[in-house]
Structure 1
């Protein structure tokens, strides 16, 4: 081809040949050569691009953090319903806006300042309190960052912080605002009230079929059955592999003799001591005790109380002073030691009580020892078995067959939801339940899943064997639940109508005692009420409603479960002006924080308009695992 390409005809033929070759790749081999590539940019802020990888990383962290906070697995549908995807993008856009404005203003952070921040960061300090390079490198590996990338991120973050501080730090707080917040937070109210309970709602007839169907239709989304998945799993850990019966009695006895102290409780002694300023003074006191004086007499002469004599009850290892420990554990009960040169001076020691050492016999602890030894031996086999099972999995051997060959129990879960519960709402029994369930809901039927590493060093292999999609439950399935909720709704409506009627009577001037008597409820009094704080049988919402009504007026509010309070505000006490510096500083800080947040939010909003922000929803769905 090189020789042919040297002539004009050869060059023409070569051009045609390679053109055809490229076209054939485009049609048959490289399918995407002429097709649009998947977007890589989720948002554009001025000259800054926010990539799919950036959004994906931030989104994953946010979902995991929320899952840890609520102690459950957050599914993709739940995450989208909570708006986590939009919140993550908004946060990244806001950061990009501040970075763009900082760049426009020529703001930067020096290398020295970034380095100082890293060196002084407590997360990177070792046990000696100094910067630890190994901890720093480990943090970078965990975050998947290079050193240069981490420094760049920190420089950008510090620049944004400096810009925000320049915008909103140390804002002056008007005295009028400080006093208004103080009066709002510290106002106290009192009210007379009575409570309408569900029994006062009157007769609630059973719902008709039409009423129940209508109630159900309006709330269909509330009666959803979650998605369930069927799983098969096997687990390999030290407990599963351990064979206690294979541990010989000689090995078990040897372990017992070596660690006998672990199979009982050591001797403990209750110790008293008197401290002297010199060894000679302590010797003189010891001589007097030998001549008949009591320990208590010496203590009294030195102005010590019975309580100050007590050192405590300890094992030998628990005593801080080795010299005192040696003396105390060599004495008979009730005996007084010779002078002891302790860490804190010369002392006389007395033992008032001895709790003897208690060691269980070999026969009592032999099963426990055999189990410990067996598990230690089994841990050495885990990695070998792991690779053997992985080879079997690579050969498409089913888990049931692997479990039978390896003598492992096959765990079969007929149905589990994304939160680890079966259809009855009970948690399923599964090793490393949270991690396995999370992985199972990210997988599918027929997928060869990676083993989940257990916290004790073992592994769990699993297969998704069935998927039951989420669905609306039929009315017949939830009839009892719908009926109960319909009744609660009717009670609430009746009580609300009754409360409005009684509130109107109070507003027209009737005494609360007469109105309450007609409702069959006792009148109660609530004093020293504060905003947002429940008291007695008034909920926080009811108390807030009392603060929303002028003094002397009446109102009503829901309180507790299916109950309603009807009230009249009897007094409103406005506090005096701020009287302490500490209180003034606290309120001022609170207002400064709120004003700073508002000012920065307004700045970012205007900057977003000036810079121009575009968001690619297709790329966002790609970054957060949504459907196109």
Structure 2
């Protein structure tokens, strides 16, 4: 299996703006603990996010065959390419639930391979160290973690072993795989957690250390910026056919249609299942009978209560209230508050106090004073303020709610049963046509799609937000090979899914020059204008650095450009807002010097001059210094944790096979030549 690369941003674009990181992805990889250990690799990520079949992806790497090339040896344990490939594909699938357009290349280039791989090494080293110190994670502890996950619970709220087995089958995991991975990461957490900031109570950095950093935030700078606009550069001579042909060949990737894949598929909509899941009158009547207590007449009670530390004080306060003093006034006289618990049911009140106290309150008459009664917090004096009768519901009155609840339950059961039937059929090597015929599904064929689910040959531009079904189809298609079995893929947040089988693979190929000649000539002109803009900007920058004023140097270009503009900012703004590239550059160059930077989207070049620099002085600014002390102190635990992990790795012993690691990374990016590691 190979993921194919998508076109990359230009180097000039990357120089002034970084691609936005997925918030969920960034949150995991850049979390304090995430930098040291990984909480999940073999599917525990899926547990944490409450997912079942998170991808529909299947790795041939885990379905038999050799163990794979060893990437790293950690103590006595080898981590091989097959394991890491499967882990990476699972994580990509999980993140696609939040960001369906995510490609394997984007995931890996943003740290999705390297950081989790290092985390896996760290957690394995920590596990071995813990075992050497006599630490053990019992199976019961891992069982508790698994049974607490909501996606493994049935309609009765209890752990459903069938759902758990279905999850393992979909992820191609064994029960021991999952337990071992949980145990490894629990061990790592136990060793690391005491060293993290939250365990250390957020220590404060010394004032002498924090003050210089706080002063840096107060530094003020002024500057001047000139913009050499690409659009204001002369177009130049018409592009010749020879120039267009040369440009086309030099930039062939720009005019290449990426690899496309088509699939055959059948969708299952939750809305369709819901339409077939209306409960019968008998089912409604049974649900009403089973929930008789829920629909019976009841009452709610509004209560004021005061909790005192000793019984003597509580007796005195109760006596005053029984004598006619308002409980609020009696409580206020001793410096307390008579809190109001409005419209409490007996069950809710018992959960807050105890069943015994609730019995006393709900058998008392309106206005009664109860107590003092002993509670876990002290002695409570309670006054019953109001009794509200809540009438019961007849079958007809309860019917709308019952229909809604039963319909959703039946829909969920139908979806689960259908998924199970399809999963069993796939396991039994049934074809997509056989499965569709047996279950009454309609097979469709997709157009040739790229990795984002778009059809490059469509007559209209792709939509701003790709179709979610096509994105799901493409996600499966680009992680499959033609000989792979059909797969299940989620298609919406309601729980709809598709049965998908890769049909055709259309290799990437450039469009003929004749069909894109006009586009090529336009791009040639823009690049020529950008090149001339760079030449002009370089000349302006050099003149300023030799002593000429920016405005004069700009005028000497002979171009009709906008006038220079002043800038002013303090360094703290770099961290509290999203400053423009010229502002960032102003804080990176010495006073009185000029530097240039390319604008986004080949828009031109900025020439920036730093005019004045006023050093900050945070002395006396206690609020800023204290914040800096806190911010710097927050990193202390992370430093301790990182040092501890490095020491553990050194003691356990970590030997990397960098050639194999690089080969696997390239293979996942679709850059491998010939066979990838392990022949995949």
Question: Under a length normalisation based on structure 2, what TM-score does the superposition of the two structures give?
Answer: 0.54
Residue in 2 that maps onto 1:552: 592
Cα shift at 1:193: 1.6
Residue in 2 that maps onto 1:624: 677
1:249 aligns with 2:249: no
Residue in 1 that maps onto 2:571: 529
Residue in 2 that maps onto 1:188: 219
Q: Aligned pairs, how many?
A: 533
1:471 to 509, 530, 536: 509
Residue in 2 that maps onto 1:13: none
Residue in 1 that maps onto 2:612: 570
1:417 to 450, 454, 475: 450
Q: Distance in 2 between matches of 1:444 and 1:612?
A: 28
Cα shift at 1:598: 11
Map 1:348-387 onto structure 2 (within 5 A).
348-351=383-386, 361-362=397-398, 364-365=400-401, 368=404, 371-372=407-408, 374-375=410-411, 378=414, 382=418, 385-386=421-422
Residue in 2 that maps onto 1:103: none
Kept in 2, the 8 Å contact 1:331–1:351? The answer is: no
Kept in 1, the 8 Å contact 2:305–2:380? The answer is: no
Cα shift at 1:546: 2.9
**Residues 63 and 380 of structure 1: CA distance in aligned 2, closer, same or farther (over 3 Å):** closer
**Residues 374 and 120 of structure 1: CA distance in aligned 2, closer, same or farther (over 3 Å):** closer
Cα shift at 1:219: 2.5
Cα shift at 1:341: 4.6
1:407 aligns with 2:440: yes
Deviations 1:521-578 (A, max 9, x none): 3643423226965867532xx4553344322333343466636253233115387999
1:449 aligns with 2:469: no
Deviations 1:349-400 (A, max 9, x none): 4359999999993564465356346437747964895599569975x6x62x
1:61 aligns with 2:87: yes
Q: Distance in 1 between matches of 2:521 and 2:289?
A: 68
1:221 aligns with 2:240: no
Residue in 1 that maps onto 2:155: none
Deviations 1:267-293 (A, max 9, x none): 88776545564245324323315xxxx
Deviations 1:241-287 (A, max 9, x none): 677477432322332454489899x9887765455642453243233
Q: Distance in 2 between matches of 1:64 and 1:390?
A: 19
Kept in 2, the 8 Å contact 1:233–1:460? The answer is: yes
Map 1:17-416 onto structure 2 (within 5 A).
42=69, 54-65=80-91, 68=94, 71=99, 113=132, 115-116=134-135, 118=137, 141=174, 144=177, 188-196=219-227, 198=229, 201-202=232-233, 204=235, 208=239, 210=241, 214-234=246-266, 244=276, 247-256=279-288, 258-259=290-291, 272-275=304-307, 277-279=313-315, 281-288=317-324, 297-298=329-330, 301-303=333-335, 309-311=339-341, 317-319=347-349, 320-321=352-353, 336-341=367-372, 343=375, 344-351=379-386, 361-362=397-398, 364-365=400-401, 368=404, 371-372=407-408, 374-375=410-411, 378=414, 382=418, 385-386=421-422, 394=430, 399=433, 403=436, 406-416=439-449
Kept in 2, the 8 Å contact 1:328–1:351? The answer is: no
**Residues 195 and 367 of structure 1: CA distance in aligned 2, closer, same or farther (over 3 Å):** farther
Greater RCO structure (CA 8 Å; 6+ sep): 2
Q: Distance in 1 between matches of 2:424 and 2:179?
A: 35
Q: Distance in 1 between matches of 2:485 and 2:104?
A: 19
**Residues 50 and 215 of structure 1: CA distance in aligned 2, closer, same or farther (over 3 Å):** farther
Cα shift at 1:124: 7.9
Structure 2 unaligned regions, length at least 5: 1-64, 149-160, 193-208, 457-461, 620-624
**Residues 198 and 468 of structure 1: CA distance in aligned 2, closer, same or farther (over 3 Å):** same
- For the pair shown, the structure with the greater C-alpha radius of gyration is 1
Kept in 1, the 8 Å contact 2:263–2:503? The answer is: yes
